[in-house]
Amino acid sequence: MVMTRRSFLEGLAAIGGTSLLMTGMEAFGMDLASAATAPPPLAGGGAGRSVIILGAGVAGLTSAYELGKAGYDVTVIEARGFAGGRSQTARKGFQLTELGGETQTCTFDEGLYINHGPWRIPFHQRSTLHYIKEFGVDVELFNNDNENSYAFFTKGSGPLANRPVRKREIASDARGHAAEILAKTVQSGALDQQFTAADRDLFLAYLKSEGYLEGADHRYGGSESRGWIVKPGAGLVAGEPTKPYAFTDVLHSEAWRVLASVSEWDQQRTMFQPKGGMAMLPAGFVRHVGDKIRYATVVEKIRQNDKGVSVSVVDAKGQRSVVKGDWCICTIPLSVLKMIDHGLSPAHKTAMEGVAYAPVGKIGLQMKQRFWEEKHWIYGGHVYTDDPDIGSISLPSTGWLGQKGVLLGYYNFIGSAAKVSALSPADRAKFAVDFGQKIFPEYAESFESAFSVAWHRVQYNLGGWAVWNEAARARDYPVLLRPDRRIYLAGEHLSHLGGWQAGGIESAWMQIDALHKQASAS
Amino acid sequence: MVMTRRSFLEGLAAIGGTSLLMTGMEAFGMDLASAATAPPPLAGGGAGRSVIILGAGVAGLTSAYELGKAGYDVTVIEARGFAGGRSQTARKGFQLTELGGETQTCTFDEGLYINHGPWRIPFHQRSTLHYIKEFGVDVELFNNDNENSYAFFTKGSGPLANRPVRKREIASDARGHAAEILAKTVQSGALDQQFTAADRDLFLAYLKSEGYLEGADHRYGGSESRGWIVKPGAGLVAGEPTKPYAFTDVLHSEAWRVLASVSEWDQQRTMFQPKGGMAMLPAGFVRHVGDKIRYATVVEKIRQNDKGVSVSVVDAKGQRSVVKGDWCICTIPLSVLKMIDHGLSPAHKTAMEGVAYAPVGKIGLQMKQRFWEEKHWIYGGHVYTDDPDIGSISLPSTGWLGQKGVLLGYYNFIGSAAKVSALSPADRAKFAVDFGQKIFPEYAESFESAFSVAWHRVQYNLGGWAVWNEAARARDYPVLLRPDRRIYLAGEHLSHLGGWQAGGIESAWMQIDALHKQASAS
């Protein structure tokens, strides 16, 4: 999806002077797909061996579930009062206190929610879908590309800038005008040296087909697909199609930035979401390993020797204790781990400094009317903007045709996330609502309540996801993949699927396989 | 959607010599969208007046529901044993006997079904969505455009013909190569007379962005979006992107016919379907007007005088009776009506001859494995083919990640529908399975049972939908919109939304409004 990646990368450039600046397109661009499709077979089992798992996010839960199935005695230490890590769903009563911030309590109506962490499961992330299926989590389609949604670009110029424009109009006109120009060039013979006659004729046919070109002169005059002034209906209402925008206006609007020859891999159709929120996925794990989790228990110190690992923890009542096991899987985000007395090797300690964690902000806005459906005929999908403080506004892919809904009011990164997150929750909501009002006239009057998160200010995360620059990926990342004696690190940060649940799951699969091999050999 | 319209129009040309040949692109191409969004207010009500409604399809049901709400005394005469007209869902036990054919009894597993009539509700068909909402029918997204699905084109040439090719590869390569050619042309200065310098720079930026072009020479070298040889994953699995196909191979494959600058209007995202099948929509009406419907009652004769309308009917036991009312809404398809002793004016009778009804065939195939999901990662959407006897193969947008599923094995029109429908149900299934096997190696071994329909052979329809050519649309269609004294015709055939439920609903809205005005004035 154009806006996500681009605004992220623009943000990297804009924020200059931090370690984030070193993160490059190479690292982010590749973090896209899922390689492994099933957990490793843990031959021979793990009976008689114990594993301490630090963190009950999807990586920790995956480790606990698979190692537990293989007969290992597992204990999961989780700092929060609930499992799931970042795979959270905010609904009525859900509380969040950011570092240095006031406590937010979600006041959405019953049944409404926002996935303020991960919210999408691409069709190709087989590892995540494996557990969706394993636990019978009901999924529904996430509408990730809505041709009827708006682009709202403020930095362009001309009559199409700074106002909502339908994506279908931009797609039809940009591609149609371009196809006309190219077809006329082909027809003029200017490209005859590049083509055989057969190729040239097929190329013209392709351009005509793709661009809705008409006549022998291959003219783009709009298309019924770009929309209607009067829509066809019953009786004599045959409909009146719209006219195309001038190409120069389309170009100067910059709204063509929403187009791509094919959607980016990690944003391609089809996309899923669990019915009822992303928290339904960790809930599936918890049904199986919930009794192994020690909640509200914070890791203070990690030590190991030739015999095993001991983890000093403190619980919600301030009671300190030491958990002992033969092995350890540590899924604590590196942003947090590096501030713990982890006792890992100097090489691991140094390597951890190579990673950056992305500031990321999201806000859910409860609206008393689904005006985007009723008035604008936009059912799900994203309104793309070129304002990095907003990023995109996303309409919910659930509760179709209902009364109320929760939309995502902004999704910002890096410098924008840092800036917006400095606001109070109430001011974040005001900022989001004021912006949305520019696109939807019904926005402000429909707004009822908000719930926002700034992941870089969330105590046990300190960032949305790990970001590796090219140098650190080559130098530091491989170090962290290797165990430090009896301790294995796992999580999305140790994958090429940064920021995706699949990264956490597949990293866990890799590390439990390695642990099992080491344990079986010892 | 390219294949639907095009194969339909190709079919029109191919079948030559029938009245269908006269149907033109103008008529079909415009039959796309929904003009009216709410039923007409029937001011003053209809108390003390009676209306006979012929047909309990969506047009008849809409008429009965709205007139009934306004106080009219309505009676619906329905030839079938159930309501819904073509809005049918075949599930276990559903029976169909085509004219001259054997009786098919659907043997799908519990919970599985095929919508062998209408199956999609576009976001812009407000009239259909009006009743979805009115009756609280649960809807889910219909995945109408899946970038990971296949194109399977047999008539092209070269290495990409006659084998399944991912749509995302074709989209990336066709548009990428075209963008490169165009960018190089722009860069060469060949188009400088057409552009200002600012336009030219923006045009290059657009082409680069749209086509994933790289470097100062705007080279298309593939994109990670077109797919991966090795997918990124955990640890050191950074992924290995695929390479683009040669442009000449893409052109000669003809698979680019699946591309359009923007999807055709009536096929655009977002699309819905009722959970549990399209029959849930008529079921919503039936909850309100079910007691007004006389099922299994066939119209034999229609007469009217200055006082009212009388309809002679015969029920399933052969009992004849006459239903009397002040007015009549007749929603019987014209293909059927013209064979009834309808007593309509000579002008109406002549005008009815101007319409053709489209032969249309569909087949549902129950598969014991959802191999398209498990093995091919295709969740819903359509496999496009250039074989008109198959049309497209459509994967179900429900039952995600389950065990079994029912897919649509063909969707054919006109000559192809006539040809395939001449086969026995078993031979139709064999034909569909043999073809599908060319695309999916798991097809034949997974096949369990089939249910097919040929709408032109269905007694009370005699065609999938009405098709007007330009001449008949101008000459005959307006005649049929006008009432013949106390009798109003309604249905998708009297709309510019041919073949869509919205056409039936909006036509009913138009005609009950006219009837009400006439009745109120009398």
- B150, B262, B374: best to mutate for the A interface, most A CBs within 10 A: B262
CB contact under 8 A, A261 and B171: yes
Q: Are A297 and A77 in contact (CB under 8 A)?
A: yes
Q: Are B95 and B106 in contact (CB under 8 A)?
A: yes
| Nearest in space to A506 (alpha carbons), one of A515, A495, A516 | A495
What is the pLDDT at residue A2? 36
Summarised one tens digit per residue, pLDDT across range A37-95 is 899 999 999 999 999 999 999 999 999 999 999 999 999 999 999 999 999 999 999 99
Half-sphere exposure of B507 (CA within 13 A, CB side): 35
pLDDT band of residue B36 (cuts 50, 70, 90) is: confident
| ipTM over cut 0.95 | no
B85 pLDDT higher than 80: yes
Average pLDDT of every residue of chain A: 93
CB contact under 8 A, B30 and A239: yes
What is the pLDDT at residue B22? 31
CB contact under 8 A, B261 and A176: yes
Residue A253 contacts B, CB cutoff 8 Å: no
Other beta carbons within 10 angstroms of residue A187's beta carbon come to 15
What is the pLDDT at residue A513? 97
Chain center to CA of A76? 26
Rounded to a whole number, what is the distance in Å from the CA of B519 to chain A's nearest CA?
Answer: 20
CB contact under 8 A, A232 and B270: no
Of B123, B171, B182, the CB nearest to A148: B123
Residues in Cβ contact with A278 at an 8 Å cutoff, skipping those fewer than 6 apart: A84, A87, A88, A89, A115, A117, A118, A119
Summarised one tens digit per residue, pLDDT across range B103-137 is 999 999 999 999 999 999 999 999 999 999 999 99
Residues in Cβ contact with A189 at an 8 Å cutoff, skipping those fewer than 6 apart: none
Q: For residues A465 and A457, what is the distance between their CA atoms, to the nearest angstrom?
A: 13
Q: Residues of B numbered 429-488 whose beta carbons fall under 8 angstroms of chain A's beta carbons: which are they?
A: 478, 481
Q: Residues of B numbered 287-316 whose beta carbons fall under 8 angstroms of chain A's beta carbons: which are they?
A: none
Of B207, B228, B496, the CB nearest to A239: B496
Residues in Cβ contact with A301 at an 8 Å cutoff, skipping those fewer than 6 apart: A311, A312, A340, A341, A342, A343
Rounded to a whole number, what is the distance in Å from the CA of B317 to chain A's nearest CA?
Answer: 37
pTM equals 0.93
| Nearest in space to A177 (alpha carbons), one of B203, B263, B2, B172 | B203
Of B35, B206, B237, the CB nearest to A233: B35
Overall average pLDDT of the B217-241 stretch: 92
Residue of B nearest to A503 (CA): B234
Residues in Cβ contact with B397 at an 8 Å cutoff, skipping those fewer than 6 apart: A141, B140, B141, B142, B143, B273, B380
CB contact under 8 A, A124 and B503: no
CB contact under 8 A, B235 and A481: yes
A338 pLDDT higher than 70: yes
Residue B515 contacts A, CB cutoff 8 Å: no
CB contact under 8 A, A32 and B251: no
Of A145, A230, A257, the CB nearest to B209: A257
Helix ranges (H only) for B385-491 are 414-421, 425-439, 443-446, 470-475, 477-481
CB contact under 8 A, B260 and A202: no
Residue type, A307: K
Q: For residues A465 and A493, what is the distance between their CA atoms, to the nearest angstrom?
A: 7
The H helix count followed by the E strand count for chain A is 17, 24
How much of chain B, in percent, has pLDDT values that exceed 70? 93
The first and second tokens of residue B269, run together, are: 């995202």
Instruction: State which H helix or E strand residue B52 sits in.
Output: strand B50-54
Instruction: Examine residue B196 and say whether the peptide bond preceding it is cis (omega within 30 degrees of 0).
Output: no
Residue A209 contacts B, CB cutoff 8 Å: yes
A81 conformational bin, left if phi > 0, alpha if psi -120 to 50, beta if neither? alpha
With residues binned 3-state (H G I as helix, E B as strand, rest as coil), the percentages for chain B, rounded to 5, are 35, 20, 40
Residue A406 contacts B, CB cutoff 8 Å: no
Q: Look at the block and give the residue holding tokens 């001859």.
A: B353
Residue of B nearest to A137 (CA): B401
Residues in Cβ contact with B373 at an 8 Å cutoff, skipping those fewer than 6 apart: B379, B395, B400, B401, B405
B481 pLDDT higher than 80: yes
Of A123, A231, A260, the CB nearest to B377: A123
Residue B38 contacts A, CB cutoff 8 Å: no
Q: For residues B368 and B120, what is the distance between their CA atoms, to the nearest angstrom?
A: 24
Summarised one tens digit per residue, pLDDT across range B274-310 is 999 999 999 999 999 999 999 999 999 999 999 999 9
The first and second tokens of residue B320, run together, are: 């004849």
Summarised one tens digit per residue, pLDDT across range A126-143 is 999 999 999 999 999 999
Helix ranges (H only) for A34-108 are 58-69
A:B CB pairs within 8 Å:
315
